Amino acid sequence: MDDYKIWIKRAYNSLALAKVEKTDEICYEDLCYNAQQAVEKGLKALLIYHGENISRSLKTHDLFVLLKNLEQYVEVPDDMIDAAILTEYATGTRYPGDYEEVDELSYQDAIKAAEYSLEWISKHL
């Protein structure tokens, strides 16, 4: 469970799920959730790579918290901090609730942020 290679593989799996073709049966919210999961798993892979154990600090969906933990190992660029806005898709839109529906433009932004994040993460593994 603490092998970073397994985590990065699952991160790319989540990104692939985020990119499935949108149909009437698929919500942008769910695709964005998978984009967030890609980044979360990727950040956890990088933390594990640097010797972190799966612990309470890694059992979070908050990308800001994960990035803060990474600052002790690597310099985190502003673009990664910008990508942390995907955190809202981890819980805020995962279930039906009181939020604005995600549109195509927001979905495209989420995909770009996830792709950038995984590219950055992979360079540091």
How far apart are alpha carbons 42 and 37 in whole angstroms? 8
pTM of the model: 0.94
Predicted pLDDT of residue 98:
81
What interhelical angle do 28-49 and 4-18 show, nearest 10?
Answer: 160
How far apart are alpha carbons 80 and 67 in whole angstroms? 8
pLDDT in tens, 38-88: 999 999 999 999 999 877 667 899 999 999 999 999 999 999 999 999 999
Residue from 108, 45, 120 nearest 81 by CA: 120
- Tell whether the model's pLDDT for residue 16 goes beyond 80: yes
- Tell whether the model's pLDDT for residue 125 goes beyond 80: yes
Q: Mean pLDDT across the chain, nearest whole number?
A: 93
Please report the domains of the chain, with CATH numbers, ordered by start residue. Answer: 4-123 (1.20.120.330)
- Tell whether the model's pLDDT for residue 31 goes beyond 90: yes
